[in-house]
Structure 1
């Protein structure tokens, strides 16, 4: 969605938003690990976040 918005913005606004998004992307990637069990179970994003917040413990 952000990528679509970037294409619609004027050049100056696009550059400013890209800087903010790049900063947020970097912070997100530093704090987020891939789910090593993703291929072994049906994808349920709400559970992934619960595990992430629970220190990696799987909740039922």
Structure 2
């Protein structure tokens, strides 16, 4: 009985962790690193990647009235 409860608690904790990582963007950096695993250049550091991501988002914003 305790084993099932413990497994259930682990499942909930894993789901919560996954949700938090997705909502904060941490999982996106991990996907970036995995995608660049075979590249001939090293991936950006976490700080460089966040900076580049923020810069790209700023470029995509448009000032408009509506």
Query: As a proportion of its length, which structure holds more helix?
Result: 2
Q: TM-score, normalising length from structure 2?
A: 0.44
Larger-Rg structure: 2
Q: TM-score, normalising length from structure 1?
A: 0.47
